[in-house]
Amino acid sequence: MTDGPRKADRFGKIVVGSGWWSPTLRSPWSVGDDVIRSVDFFALWHRQVMRYLDPAAILVTDSASPNRPNFAAFARVQAVALDRNYGHANDLRVGGNPTKYSGFTRSVLLGALYALCCDADTYVYVEQDCLIYGRDFLSAAIGGGESDFYCGGPPENARTFHGGEAAKMHQRSLQIARGPGIARLIQTIIDAPEGDGELSGEVKMARDMAPVGVLGIPFGRSRPLDFTAPHFYAQQMTHEELHAFLELEGLPFDAWFGAAPES
């Protein structure tokens, strides 16, 4: 039982999926404060998921990370560990890892398969650096939409690892699949002829899951963040943004993370 709202009947049994990778050294593809990839951050991520989604189960796919939370200590969390780190999509694009699926894609796929095997009505993928906020979160996210799959619209003013602006592609840090959309998501990932190094996962998702429903709540990677919004999701937060988020939730930053500066 959580201290947040119970899930609405229209969403039935909810299963959440996510991935896990916490490096010893900062990746060249990293964006945002290093703390969002820390073991301590998982406790905050889990708090938000439980508070605003209240899922029946959470599956975390660990990419053989050198730093891992004690997943067994967190309510409703199941973890599966891959035999190795299959890399960021950018690793595949530059030829550093000759395999079809990035670690991210594997975590989406395994979470969806777990949801299907648990007879879930709704599968919600929440990326490991993505924090959600707002009561009746799923109702706000999809409104009265009838699609069986939702993701974020193209970001505005989103940062990238090289300091430029991110491409205008659909966002994948928060994905919602309902009913037949769960099996459809699994099938499209498996059937896509291109690997993640050949074609962006965002492009494949928008093409293969069409018609895609667009989330009715803001942000993801878009900036600036407006912490007065009643519902939002946000990833790749800076040190200052994370401070503001914790203040919004009435949580002391130092009690969660200490005062480590952004890298």
- Give the CATH number of domain 9-257; options: 3.40.50.12280, 3.20.20.70, 3.30.499.10, 3.90.550.10: 3.90.550.10
How do the domains of the chain map onto residue ranges? 9-257
* pLDDT (0 to 100) of residue 27: 66
Q: Give me the percent of the chain exceeding a pLDDT of 70.
A: 87
User: For residues 214 and 142, is the Cβ–Cβ distance under 8 A?
Assistant: no
13-17, 19-23, 34-38, 208-212: the lowest-pLDDT one: 34-38
Is the pLDDT confidence value at 190 over 50? Answer: yes
Supply the pTM of this predicted model.
0.91
- Please state, as a whole number, how many other Cβ atoms lie within 10 Å of the Cβ of residue 165: 12
pLDDT of 7 > 60? The answer is: no
Comparing CA positions, the residue from 189, 134, 107, 145 lying closest to residue 11 is 145
227-255 tens-digit pLDDT = 999 999 999 999 999 999 999 999 998 88
Query: Residue 255's pLDDT is what?
Result: 82
Q: Enumerate the H helices of the chain as residue ranges.
A: 39-52, 89-93, 103-117, 137-142, 180-191, 201-208, 239-248, 253-257
Residue 201 pLDDT > 60, yes or no? yes
pLDDT classification of 257: cutoffs 50, 70, 90: confident
Phi, psi of 60 (to 5 degrees): -110, 125
